[in-house]
Structure 1
Amino acid sequence: MTSVVLALYDGAMLFETAAACEVFGVDRGLADAWYDFRVCGPREARLGGWLRVDTPHGFDALADADTVIVPACADVEADPPADLVDAVRAAHDRGARLVSLCTGAFVLAAAGVLDGRRATTHWEHTAALAARYPRVQVDPDVLYIDDRGVLTSAGKAAGMDLCLHIVTADHGAAVANALARRLVVPARRAGGQAQFIAVPAVADTGHAFSDLLDWVSERLHEPLTVPDLARQVNMSTRNLTRRFTAVTGTTPLRWLHTQRIHRAQELLETTDDSVELIAARTGMGTAATLRRHFHRALGVPPDIYRRTFRNHRAPTTTWAQA
């Protein structure tokens, strides 16, 4: 069982704290062994500027945690608590996985663990993070980054995306998808997807694209192309690409490719289908094509992925069961 410690402190934000507690702190029976979850921090720390919390664990709980999560801070101009910074640095030196949600990246940066790494935070604060910590490779345009055991996310909902990414890494795609259905959130948005920065709403295409995504999801076994998607919504390929990217933050082709990989992950975990059959069921065509794209996306071939996650248990749920 993996131990996860959530490190609270004065000024930590409620949303990110709650997201971590919901994902790691509630055992919904989705896997054979969930997380050993603890919350630590100073007595009567204020969250969100008004809610007082009490925990029996201080920052010494970070000393033996497999994963340490630091939620967002309200004031990025203030120096983070020195005892938290020291505990985070010691956890990193010991080899713990470190996770920051939103502006929690400023705590990791103060501890020096982001030096020489790619990292992100809420788009409003990326410039400040880069200016204050010039050794950090700040990427303002992504939802989250997993850089060699140090993980950072953009603002608010992106923190939930990162938490589900961690569940996927630990328990597999089927378990992460089942959890997302329980929480009534999107199963997975790729970390490289753009943050939604000042993107104008496109009200007249929102519903059409929702229908399009459902239509594609039911036909992933077909050799769909972007022109096929464009015809489905009566747009030119160029116009679809432009408007789809503006609304979703990614291109139609990249989104389609990501869905095929996700479907392949689920089939590898939950069926005994051969790689050849899974390639056909995901529109990849051939086993060689599936292996190439799967390895490029996840860093392992399908056979190894299946052996890693085949025995994880993910009960079937529906959105209505959340």
Structure 2
Amino acid sequence: MQRIGFIAFPDFQVMTFAAVSVFEIANVTGNAPLYDLHFLSEHGGSVRTSLGLTMDTEPFGDAPFDTLIAGGGLEPVESTPGLIEYVRAAPTIARRVAAICTGAFVLAEAGLLDGRRATTHWGFARQLQAQFPKVRVEEDRIFIIDGPIWTSAGMTAGIDLALAMVEKDHGAALARSVARKLVVYHRRAGGQSQFSALLELEPKSDRIQVALDYAKRNLHTALSVEQLAEAAHLSPRQFSRAFRSETGQSPAKAVEHLRVEAARLMMESSRHPIDVVASETGFADRERMRRAFLRAFGQPPQAIRRNAQIEGVPLLTT
């Protein structure tokens, strides 16, 4: 049985510990108990969550764990020296160390993310990068595995991370069964974009919003910077500078995200051939769409469709 330790601290956000349910259901679904779950904190005893609920915890110690997972808060919080000391030593007592959401800040402060790829909630990714420049932050990923260190995006992305752990430990069939019992998608690939980031671009000016709306309505066309700039009533140079300043992305990157999301929805919900999907969503050909899917989801289009069929997503025939 693998010992899983969840590291809590005052005002941690309850949703980040939704991953616990993955291991709980894996125990129920497996032929035998697979995971031994422990909740840890610096001093043990009751720890208050951001909702005001309390949770009983065990104090930090030298006991070995297979996996240690740090939860996150509604925003990054200042870590105590005891917490940082325990996390810094975590690789010596655990096979893998993980963080959910802003828990990545704890791992980064302890030095575990230096030189490694990592992600966190999209709303705090740039802060993580600025505060810890040695970390290779990838702000648009659901979760990232870099050696023994795992990090995930915010909130429900912890479920994806935990499902990936179950799959790695005990196979895809069990992970898929757990996902079905939890009524969640099995499973968003670690390389998949945090689409919340795209939905929450929230440009400051109406002009950039108009350009985004124009792009969404015209994905089937080439959508050059010049076209988007014209929709925004700006010169191409002004538009590119304003777009990146307001959204944090280049126009080309944002358009690619829009295209792959639209293509993913078509792959999951229709029987259209890949060539048709590529054409309808503005990719020049299926190979370019395949490369874009690999960048965004870590999977080719065929795998996305196959997973949707396994999960029972209804296909449209028209």
Bin the TM-score by the shorter chain. Answer: 0.5 to 0.7
Deviations 1:254-312 (A, max 9, x none): 5424348869xx9xxxxxxxxxxxxxxxxxxxxxxxxxxxxxxxxxxxxxxxxxxxxxx
| Superposed counterparts of 1:168-183, under 5 Å | 168-183=167-182
Contact preservation (8 Å) 1:30, 1:179: no
**Alignment-derived partner of residue 52 in structure 2:** 50
Contact preservation (8 Å) 2:116, 2:146: yes
2:135 & 2:29 partners in 1: Cα distance? 39
In the TM superposition, residue 195 of structure 1 has moved relative to its aligned partner by 1.2
Distance 1:173 1:262, change over 3 A: farther
1:156 & 1:254 partners in 2: Cα distance? 23
**Alignment-derived partner of residue 110 in structure 1:** 109
1:123 aligns with 2:117: no
**Alignment-derived partner of residue 258 in structure 2:** none
Distance 1:31 1:229, change over 3 A: farther
Contact preservation (8 Å) 2:102, 2:121: yes
- Is there any run of 5+ residues in structure 2 with no aligned partner, and where? 200-211, 220-260, 314-318
1:256 aligns with 2:257: no
For the residue of structure 2 that corresponds to 1:53, the secondary structure is: strand
**Alignment-derived partner of residue 14 in structure 2:** 14
1:121 & 1:208 partners in 2: Cα distance? 25
| Superposed counterparts of 1:254-293, under 5 Å | 254-259=299-304
* Equivalent residue letter for 1:30: G
2:64 & 2:94 partners in 1: Cα distance? 10
In the TM superposition, residue 14 of structure 1 has moved relative to its aligned partner by 0.5
Contact preservation (8 Å) 1:226, 1:253: no
Contact preservation (8 Å) 2:267, 2:277: yes
**Alignment-derived partner of residue 299 in structure 1:** none
**Alignment-derived partner of residue 292 in structure 1:** none
**Alignment-derived partner of residue 204 in structure 2:** none
1:137 & 1:207 partners in 2: Cα distance? 28
**Alignment-derived partner of residue 275 in structure 2:** 227
* Equivalent residue letter for 1:110: E
Q: Report sequence identity in percent.
A: 33
| Superposed counterparts of 1:56-67, under 5 Å | 57-60=58-61, 63-67=63-67
Contact preservation (8 Å) 2:39, 2:56: no
**Alignment-derived partner of residue 35 in structure 1:** 35
2:127 & 2:263 partners in 1: Cα distance? 38
In the TM superposition, residue 75 of structure 1 has moved relative to its aligned partner by 3.6
* Equivalent residue letter for 1:130: Q
How many residues were matched structurally?
Answer: 249
In the TM superposition, residue 239 of structure 1 has moved relative to its aligned partner by 9.1
- Is there any run of 5+ residues in structure 1 with no aligned partner, and where? 217-223, 267-316
Which segment drifts farther, 88-97 or 143-152? 88-97
Contact preservation (8 Å) 1:117, 1:136: yes
**Alignment-derived partner of residue 145 in structure 1:** 144
TM-score by length of 1: 0.66
Distance 1:74 1:259, change over 3 A: closer
